[in-house]
Structure 1
Amino acid sequence: MVVHNPNNWHWVDKNCFDWAKNYFQEKLVGLSTGAATDDLYTHITKLSSIEGDCEVNQRKGKVISLFDLKLNLGISGHVNGESFSGSITIPEVAFDSDPEDYQFDISIFKETSKLSEIKPVLREKLIPQLRDTFSEFGKQLLNTHGNDIQVSSDKVTSEYTKANQQSSFAKVEAAKEAAKKEASGNVSTASGTAKKATLSSETQQSSKTNAKYNTTKVHLESSFQVPAIELYNTFMEKPRIEAWSRSPVQPDTTNGSFSSGSALQNNDCFKLFGGNITMKLISSEPGKEIQFQWSLNDWKEGHFSKLSLEFHESKEYHETKLIVNWSGIPVGEEDRARGNFEEYYIRAIKVTFGFGAIL
């Protein structure tokens, strides 16, 4: 990163969001509560989504990190032979957070009283590892990127900014030394290298696939007091869609076909909310999953996100958990997409059909 900033006086910032995503992918995936042979066991399987901002900045010689991130982690495991999957949502990992500030929302899909036994184990053995990782993140961020955004001290004539710079780099060097000590006690593995290579490949492929926008992901979860097949049908049957969307399902034959039946069929293309939303049904499995292509009419022409809906029914608790994994959203649009989905899909369905508490 080339810096033209006399005496390091002016504000300079570096976007480190992609680095943060790779960092948490490497540090968090694979963390577990213990041995896979334990009666109660869970481990982190993936970084499902990460949203927010992450930057390193400098002004008047001082280097600081500014970040405010929301993460969702996929988990899986077993309780006395019964397998489960779920998620952990961390609403805020911020530059000014203390370890005790972090909140962890644990969700077990198709939860039963037996499967809920994993939650105390998870809180006791896995959550502390997450707290430690998040607490170290700010130091590692400065350690990696602090040198990139300043003119070297030999080119600084201001004693004021030079003193600030020396103080900042003293902190960075301390972080480096701590990292070296930690690394000296660890042995790198081929799996870690392969993981990085796979992630790099995925990032490159994503940039090729979504050339028109830099994109991000959104993850949502909501519970409905209704069987999974009923909630599934609410997204599939045209009369129900028109009821909760309060708009006609308009055929979009310019982008594909549209079936004449009362329920959507794969490859059906249609518009909702007065034509503001364009959708295409990609695949569906009754009571299990639906996948759509989804686009706002003010996005660039031809750009579609992928909206995946999963339905996890807990018969014991008489509810279905809707898991929304939404990829391909243009960076900067994620808050808008999340808010609109929560208001015009989730809340609208609950209000229209009485499928659960309205928040």
Structure 2
Amino acid sequence: MALPPPMASTTANWHWKNKNVTPWAKSWFERELATLSVKGEGSEEVGITEITEFDGDVELGQRKSKLITIYDVRVGLKWKGTASDGTEVEGKVTIPEVSHENAIDGITDYVYEWSLTTSSSPVVDGLFKLVRSKLPVALETKFAEFPSAIIDTHGKDLTVSTQTSRTGTPAPSGSATPAAPPPSAAAAPKPAAKKPEAKKVNSTTVTVDANFMASADDLFSILTDEKRIPSWTRAPAQSTPKPDAEYSLFGGGVRGKYVSLTPGKEIKQTWALQSPTWPSGHAATLTTSLDQSSDSTKVTWTLQGVPTGMEDEITRNLQGYYVHGLKSIGLGSEL
């Protein structure tokens, strides 16, 4: 798929972009976690010796000149330690989900699945207790460094401007102040009293679909409920799901009005990308159709009114930010 031609930095940075950095992330975990160790009150000491499993996806994205991290991986580790009497003790731990969700809300607990390889004894069990109480603190401290490491290493690949926003995964509301958008796009949440006159735009239709392991009713809620939308967009949202009500997604990157809603079946809404390359005053129409089968639901996004020449860009946006966004919360999509 051909990429759009080069643009001025302020325009280029306004576009949605994604970079898959999973291989680099695996190496980072192997390098950084293998340095972790904790000590007990006496001579006890335990450390990570090997990464046995790393499964999932890690991406760096850019929206509205802001770099964000999107990741959800399963990590398996081996640990080894020395008990107070010199006995060597080994075991394993699996963290099923190391995810940007933990970074977003700051309160989601990591889950640890512990196992002991060495035969149990009072002294071995004592060290195992130390492992379970102290190793998670060391691991979570390292996990907290991961988003910044992604941006430090790969941010320059997505940012044309030399002034890179170094913000990690955004919280749904009220965390770090986001980088200021270009002046031409710094619109207030409420629409201006006088709307710009729409010009005639040559346009076409773009369609993207995917299957998700969820019911149509649940997907309808995830796509329209103001409280649930940030779970997959990783940004603030405004949404009142009723005809003629305005909505705002991706922190204001997409705006429009609901036209009609049929719960569990269809969502029709106007759709406009807040970007210098999107024609002023022009709105496309996005129809989201939900077709539930016995074990999954097919979602089809049909966007009518895409300006000619932007088809590839908008297709990538829908696949990256709608399909991948829903996939990232564990709905198991299949493209």
TM-score higher than 0.5:
no
Which structure has the highest helix share of the two?
Answer: 1
Query: So what's the TM-score if we normalise by structure 2?
Result: 0.42
